[in-house]
Structure 1
Amino acid sequence: MKKMQHHILQRLSVIVLAVVLAITNTLPANAQFFTQEREGLDLPENEILFYDPKADALECAGLGQDNGGVTLIGSDNLEKAWNFFIGKDLSPNQTAGILGNLIWESGSEALDPNSNQQGGGPGRGIAQWTVNERWADLVKWAAPRNPRDLAVQLEYIWYEMNNVAPYNKTAERIKATATVEEAVLLFEREFERAGKPVLGKRLHYANLALARYGGTTPGATPAPDSLRDASGCPTDGGSIAVVDGKAFPLQTTKSAITGNKPYPWCHTSQSNCHHDYNAADIMISTGTLVVAAAPGKVVKINEGRAAHVVILGDDRNVYYYTHMGRGTIKVADNQAVTTGTPLGNIGTKDDAQGTPPHLHFDILPPPYAMRMGCSGASCTRYPFQNVQPLLTTLFQALPE
């Protein structure tokens, strides 16, 4: 019986292979990839393809299919948290105000993401989220990532500060504070909402954090080679380059881009060098942070394979970012974003449909309010902007 089943499977395999070869032979000689055109509001998973005859040349060695996340910089959890909030354009005083609260809530300067409320209470994590309420929301939001991971908890704090009522005015309001005292009070009142605030202790720890890290500029510090994202691949470190209110869409360095040989992005060209239509494919390592090039509102996200974000800019242009890793998207539908807001992390070879990991970036002018689901030559009918002049200018502002 087993021999007969094996024989049948062999014959089926031969038939399937023959069908695949027959289909392949009908394609144009220079077509490595083929997708049907699909238009409308729902973008297909593989709508943007990059033609590359040596598609696997730059794949991160030993890459798994994990979902990524931010790379934290620092020698301990407190320094990592400091760098995280400084990287959100908060001042040292504002950052210290947040950390003073988190130290008091979590129970120590260790800022342990595994901390539970003493005495068996419902508080969990560095912000002591209530287990059946905000903590449950965090767990759902983080899936499939580990909710006990420090980076996940820091990301969720920032997410709540901007998106989850009644805490969603915290980021805006803390940016209006000037002193450490104001920041401590604001974060406790708007975000923590403790039954017994004990503000003196929160202020004490805030001043401790400020004294320890207030003289540094960690937001511009490249990540060391030893730091890897959750997929197991090294990130590029670097910083976010902003010129005249627009940001290069990756937190990276010049060398991280120019070193992607033999297929680097055409960083010296003012004219379009993308296949078929105006766009850019920027080859970069898996895990590299993708950021918003301009302020606007998120109008569509896909968190699966070839994850993407569509933003309707304040300038009415439609900004499209794709080939991010599944599960790495850091924004939500209808979320307002500013220049440099983290959107996600560069995905794997699988997220790029078998091509080297890269960011596909394009801009569609008004009156379009959504990115249509075209790909390849089918996109030539639409007036996509030549993004090279903008990107090359921003590229020059990146660190070496």
Structure 2
Amino acid sequence: MSHRNSILLILLCNSFHQSALVVMTPVLQALFDLSLSTLGAIVGGGLLLSAATTPLWGRYAGRYGTNHSLSVSAIGGFIGILFLSGSIWMAQQEADNIGLWLHFLVLGRVIYCATANAALPLSQAALAANSAPQNLFGTLGTLNAMNGIGRLAGNALVGPLLALGTLMPVAIVLPIYIAALGKLIGTAGRTTPEHRTKTTPVHSGRVPIIALANAFGLQCGVGAAYILLGPILRDRLDLPPTHASSLAGMVLALALASAIGTQIFATRRFAERTHAAFLTGCVLVVAGLVTLSVGESIGVLLVSACLLASGAALGASANQAHQLGKAENSARPRLSTLIASAQLLGLAAGTSFFGLVGSYDLTTAALLAAALPLAFTAPALLKMFPPTSFLPIRRGSGE
């Protein structure tokens, strides 16, 4: 197994696990006798923990090397899933001690979120160090696509895996983790921290505020769509809540598939034209959210979700590629983890804020959601495409 393939497998396992855990919400509620709010706090708290700890992994990678940090992150993810699997197994065997096994579940979740969620930005930094500038956008697109494939598989396979046992959707990734970790750990032992190359235009030390605003704004839009889609389907199509939830799941799965296609194919089409790709992504996100605010049929709402997912995928990859392409190798882990943290915070903020606004008026929430990503990305767009660049060129008096 190559080093690159072991990284892809780790990302696949991580995203599969995250999606499977969310889909298993009713099972975990029944097994551990939890309210939805308690389980939501465990899952949501993990997201906030990831946002807080991910930048620390960038500093750790700057000191000890990206490949070493990626290996430690993956080991943490493996241990976290091991604790989660053990807690589910023991809860099935000893229902009288359910409180004890719930503590193991929470401990596993804390370990996982503090370590495994750093794997994607660390992988982006690791492969960016070995990618030619013209291939960087496509490389990041492949990593993000693998992350999306894992999420799609996690949503689709939980049902069949549950037929084999409650433990199976969580524990199935452990053998794959072990196989991938063997290669990662071997590589980390031979790798030293990356150093700046002579041919790379660099920036380091300065936090790229515009890049963080881009990441935060785009994921705010995604978070808004996540929370608003189900209620919009329920109200506009006059569906029962259970049918609306099922339909929302199908729409999001198709939207995720379109995002994966964008990551694999569109990123290679744009190559080094990251500015054009970022602009295209922003336009698609805003168009998707505006369409979501006015759509009255399942076809229109499906198109809006696909536009949004594809735009967010393209814009996020372009933002990462543009920033990592300018950074020296030693600065890339810190930069990549900061962007990932901003994305997690944007997703949490979009879900929370627009869930609150949507409880009053869904159309207003969707329109406001369209304006917010545009506001956050406007400084970057104005810098990439200044208004003066669209003015006609004034010819000299002698011509």
User: Considering the TM-score relative to the shorter chain, is it more than 0.5?
Assistant: no
Structure of higher CA gyration radius: 1
Question: Of Structure 1 and Structure 2, which has the larger fraction of its residues in helix?
Answer: 2
Structure possessing the higher relative contact order (Cα contacts under 8 Å, 6 or more residues apart) = 2
Question: Of Structure 1 and Structure 2, which has the larger fraction of its residues in strand?
Answer: 1
- TM-score normalised to structure 1 length: 0.24
